[in-house]
Amino acid sequence: MHLARVMGTVVASTITPGLEGTRLLILQPLDRRLEPRGENIVAADAVDMAGPDELVYFVASREAAVAMPETFVPIDHAVVGIVDQIHEVEP
Amino acid sequence: MKIGRVTGAVVSTIHHPIVTGHRLLMVDLLAFDGEATGDYVLAMDTVGAGAGETVLILDEGNGARQVLDEPEAPIRAVIVGVVDEVSVGD
């Protein structure tokens, strides 16, 4: 799992079967210092509560497909949690 | 598997049900000389790893589901060991 910031949402009224009603989010993946890393991705919202500007963590590939309430839907990234806080520890 | 150092803990109230009751740790990945690679992963703890400890990370979904005994867990990275020592070469 990796961290990402929710940048926006995607609405697609015509969508492949299994994804009707699924919230789609635009994510900016982040590095460990919460700086942007890599390109934006579109992810399904498996917790159904993530909104713009929130810090979230997401999974990819098969893990994303089983994260949704109805498993094995055709998605490649899914948000599985919203971060309240990260307790950093000193080395 | 990979080697990493626990650098933080993620607190999250709203999450997938599989996360409930497990600790989610922020782990910096290490090269075998002990230097940080700059990459990281959020891994689920299964062994009671603590802050600052060097850990062994399984980063593969089917293995993770087996470790967690959850056939449909959306988890790929789990901490499966606490490393005492790494010895490379001479």
Query: Could you tell me the CATH number of the domain that includes residue A42?
Result: 2.40.50.220
Cα A4-B31-B36 angle, rounded to 5 deg: 50
Residue A52 domain-assigned (yes or no)? yes
Residue B20: phi and psi, rounded to 5, are -60, 125
Q: Is A71 exposed, middle or buried (0-12, 13-18, 19+ CB in 10 A)?
A: exposed
Cα A56-B24-B71 angle, rounded to 5 deg: 95
Alpha-helix runs per DSSP H in B9-60: none
Tell which of B2, B11, B12, B78 to mutate to test the A interface (max A CBs under 10 Å).
Answer: B12
Say yes or no for a CB contact (<8 Å) between B10 and A46: no
Distance from CA of B41 to the nearest CA of A (A): 6
Residue A14: phi and psi, rounded to 5, are -100, 115
Q: Is A29 exposed, middle or buried (0-12, 13-18, 19+ CB in 10 A)?
A: middle
Exposure string of A36-59, with b = 16+ CB inside 10 Å and e = fewer, is ebeeebebbbbbeebeeeebbbbb
The confidence score (pLDDT) of residue A91 equals 58
Helix-then-strand count for chain B, H and E: 1, 5
The confidence score (pLDDT) of residue A71 equals 87
Q: For residues B14 and A48, what is the distance between their CA atoms, to the nearest angstrom?
A: 9
Residue A89 domain-assigned (yes or no)? no
- Mean per-residue pLDDT over chain A, rounded: 94
Say yes or no for a CB contact (<8 Å) between B24 and A57: yes
Say yes or no for a CB contact (<8 Å) between B7 and A71: no
Q: Is B64 exposed, middle or buried (0-12, 13-18, 19+ CB in 10 A)?
A: buried
Residue A26 domain-assigned (yes or no)? yes
Domain ranges of chain B: 2-82
Q: Does B17 touch chain A (CB under 8 A)?
A: no
Say yes or no for a CB contact (<8 Å) between B11 and A85: yes
Is the pLDDT at B90 greater than 80, yes or no? no
Residue A18 domain-assigned (yes or no)? yes
Q: For residues B47 and B4, what is the distance between their CA atoms, to the nearest angstrom?
A: 14
CATH top-level class of B2-82? mainly beta
Nearest CA in chain A to B7: A89
Please give the model's pTM, rounded to 2 decimal places.
0.93
**pLDDT tier at B89, thresholds 50, 70, 90:** confident
Query: Which residues between 19 and 58 in chain B have a beta carbon less than 8 angstroms from any beta carbon of chain A?
Result: 19, 24, 26, 28, 38, 40-43, 51-52
Exposure string of B25-46, with b = 16+ CB inside 10 Å and e = fewer, is bbbbbbeeeeeeeeebbbbbbb
Of the candidates A3, A67, A85, the beta carbon closest to that of B74 is on: A67
Q: Which domain holds residue A75?
A: 2-82
Q: How many structural domains comprise chain A? A: 1
Q: What is the pLDDT of residues A23-63, one digit of tens each?
A: 999 999 999 999 999 999 999 999 999 999 999 999 999 99
